[in-house]
Amino acid sequence: MQTYISLAQIDEIAQNIKSRISIQPVVGIILGSGLNGLADSIREAVHIPYSDLPNFPVSTVHGHVGRFVIGELEGRPVLVMQGRIHYYEGYTMGEVTLPVRVMQRMGIPSMIVTNAAGGVHPEFEPGDVMLITDQLNLMGMSGLNPLMGPNLDEIGPRFPDMSQPYDRVYCDLARGVAKENGITLREGVYAGLSGPSFESPADLRFLRNAGADAVGMSTVPEVIIARHGNMRVLGLSGISNKANLDGSTITTHEEVIEAGRVITPKVEKIIRGVLRGL
Ligand code: HPA
């Protein structure tokens, strides 16, 4: 029998973080694979390793640092997750999404979520940035919804609406910032799979036919939890590799991390611009 994370456990972590900082973050930012560099730009930063926090899962993936960085970016108080926790590491969905619950109990109203993703849209190239306009909850469709178990009524309803997972106003803001900075911003649907194996050519043809433009191993559970608590969400995917629909190339974690070097400056510009516009 799976045990579920209680409000008391979430609050213990939220209080622990609050006791170490003197600002109230207004945006939570989750950095994906290869995008960790962004946290180095945070001013007046307080660093809290996940391993310092009670009952907090620790990321085991190469390329993920594993700490909160709290400070200012573009004059806005932010809480950044440098490294996230994935379902494929063996954690429960509750643990994977615990950081978002902590943001909610800290009173953070908005979240910017980033990830590395495979480009399923035929025109997407490695190094592109995609604004996530909607998501395919393939993990949830196979029984892995992070909201399973007792509902946390203090945070949100048993059956939350999911008609606007990604905030339309934030999407418009990001489009404007990309334009101002001469960044080509792709747009599309992110499909969330559990991983850790990459997709077979047949998986990828299935995903394309189902309406996916990008595919990855994160984000969807975190966004469901964020929306359960009515947080407003902006999502950005860094396209690290092209989907291999005919099996002619292979995908490696190294190329995912390498593409992050091209993608990070673009994502950073967009996030900075969006923060200024909030
Ligand atoms: N598939 C799934 N997840 C990913 C990929 C991919 O091709 N690239 C980066 N994360």
- For 191-226, how does the pLDDT look when each residue is reduced to its tens digit (9 = 90+)? 999 999 999 999 999 999 999 999 999 999 999 999
Q: pLDDT tier at 43 (50, 70, 90 boundaries)?
A: confident
Distance 23 CA to ligand 1 centre (A): 35
CA dihedral defined by 226, 228, 233, 235, rounded to 10 degrees? 70
Q: Which residue among the candidates 14, 64, 106, 222 is catalytic per the annotation?
A: 64
Distance 97 CA to ligand 1 centre (A): 20
Across the chain, mean pLDDT equals: 92
Could you report the per-residue pLDDT of 222-256, keeping only the tens digit for each?
A: 999 999 999 999 999 999 998 877 777 777 888 87
Question: Which of 238, 278, 275 minimizes the C-alpha distance to 258?
Answer: 238
Question: In the annotation, is 170 catalytic?
Answer: no
For the chain, domain boundaries: 7-277
The dihedral through the CA atoms of 13, 14, 19, 25 has a sign that is positive
Distance 13 CA to ligand 1 centre (A): 31
d(CA 92, CA 97) in angstroms, rounded, equals 9
pLDDT of residue 106: 98
Q: pLDDT tier at 189 (50, 70, 90 boundaries)?
A: very high
Distance 198 CA to ligand 1 centre (A): 6
Q: If you take atom 6 of ligand 1, which residue's CA is the nearest one?
A: 118
Could you report the per-residue pLDDT of 3-13, keeping only the tens digit for each?
A: 799 999 999 99
For residue 232 the two structure tokens come to: 């407003």
pLDDT of residue 260: 80
Question: In the annotation, is 88 catalytic?
Answer: yes
Q: Which architecture does CATH list for 7-277? A: 3-Layer(aba) Sandwich (3.40)
d(CA 85, CA 91) in angstroms, rounded, equals 8
pLDDT of residue 32: 86
Q: If you take atom 2 of ligand 1, which residue's CA is the nearest one?
A: 216
Is the model's pLDDT at 63 over the cut of 60?
Answer: no
**What count of Cα atoms within 13 Å lies in the side-chain half-sphere of residue 42?**
25
Give this prediction's pTM: 0.94
Q: If you take atom 9 of ligand 1, which residue's CA is the nearest one?
A: 117
- The SS3 of residue 55 is coil
pLDDT of residue 73: 94
Question: In the annotation, is 12 catalytic?
Answer: no
